[in-house]
Structure 1
């Protein structure tokens, strides 16, 4: 089974850039989308009904903002959101229950310039950790994918020194990521590739993508007991259509 994750920076814009054709060619079993920037009623029938895929959306109350979605060929046992109003109102999370694992697709908040939303960001992060811990205590396996908006360590961004006071690399964000992983969760890409430099996001400014001045802020993570079920992973840096690129895992 292959599961993809991609912040498309607007699903209607992605449709115009060939998202449907790319998805049909790539043919994952499940794809998790972040930053849809749309309500379902704003989407075309083609986008809602892509081949064998069933689509599920959790949108923000504010139009043109945030939002997450899942396209899946495998029928989930259940679909729901986080159940916390301040995060669900922004369309931050969609959760799908499958037989062997629970898939949580998240668009983590941006802490913004000078850490304007850092308290909201860390509250969201802690809510995700609490949710995951509760599931693991019940003997469940959990995959958490999406745009975390955090570059964890120096290897995860091209210019760490210049970005120490910038959103996505603030000390509080990096400390939370360390805390999260120390609670028994695995950064799947880093597990397979401990020393590989690959990024998943590039600014639209200053030809950043052309020069590979990027950040790795998109992740698949899982509880430690599930890591042996992961066969492979990669970050598909060659795929364009957004300021982020897709990533995937393959499950045995």
Structure 2
């Protein structure tokens, strides 16, 4: 089973840069998109319904042209969920879940706090609010793959400029401690670190300067899996050869 997670930074923009041609070659079973930045009615072109895939979108309703998530799946899901129960979060189009038997695949776009203190406080609130939901998922007996842009680096190997970013959103001690809680205490698994414990690779680069060319990046895109899936992790890769977005697609192969 192959799952791809990708923050498109505008699905129409990424489409114009060839992402759908690339996706077609990957033969993924599930694709999770974040930051589609579109309403579903604007995506009438057949390219946004790739051949052979069941496609589901959760658009932002509080602010059009903002956020938004999607899931493309070869197999038709048994159920698709688009709300977690907090309107302020749900209406920004940040969550969609497809259920296939015992497996749940989630496309999650976690808030960024980089625009200012108000959004950082929203991010902290979201971290606190979603933790018991993650706990419920662990206790549910289901297998979970939580794909998406979490907007947080975890360790020194996940960011080029560690020291100078300690006071910046996405690398704050409180944010990284929250990932410690999820990974070390709760048992959630960072698929990338499980497969590549010491690798230094990034999934996002600022558009300022020559960040991408100089690989001044952050690893903030994840596939976080429930403990039962750890042994099924076979391989993972971050694709950088083409530039579809300020993020790179992240692919994980799972044993069937």
Query: Equivalent residue of 1:117, what SS?
Result: helix
How far 1:88 sits from its partner (Å)? Answer: 0.7
Q: Name 1:44's counterpart in structure 2.
A: 44
Q: CA-to-partner distance for each residue in 1:154-173, whole Å, 9 max, x for gaps?
A: 11100011111111111221
Match 1:179 to one of 178, 181, 188: 181
TM-score norm. by structure 2 comes to 0.94
Residue 236 (structure 1) aligned with residue 244 (structure 2): no
How far 1:113 sits from its partner (Å)? Answer: 4.3
Residue 78 (structure 1) aligned with residue 79 (structure 2): yes
Moved more, 152-161 or 14-23: 14-23
Cα distance between partner residues in 2 of 1:125 and 1:246: 24
Cα distance between partner residues in 1 of 2:97 and 2:85: 10
Structure 1: runs of 5 or more not aligned: none
How far 1:130 sits from its partner (Å)? Answer: 1.9
Match 1:227 to one of 230, 233, 255: 230
How far 1:44 sits from its partner (Å)? Answer: 2.9
TM-score norm. by structure 1 comes to 0.96
Count of matched residue positions in the alignment of Structure 1 and Structure 2: 252
Q: Name 1:19's counterpart in structure 2.
A: 19
Query: Equivalent residue of 2:241, what SS?
Result: coil
Q: CA-to-partner distance for each residue in 1:202-235, whole Å, 9 max, x for gaps?
A: 0111110000000000011111122112222122
CA RMSD of aligned residues (A): 1.3
Query: Equivalent residue of 2:77, what SS?
Result: coil
1:149-188 superposed matches below 5 A: 149-181=151-183, 182-188=185-191
Q: CA-to-partner distance for each residue in 1:91-112, whole Å, 9 max, x for gaps?
A: 0000111123111110000012
1:108-187 superposed matches below 5 A: 108-113=110-115, 115-181=117-183, 182-187=185-190
Moved more, 81-90 or 2-11: 81-90
How far 1:118 sits from its partner (Å)? Answer: 2.3
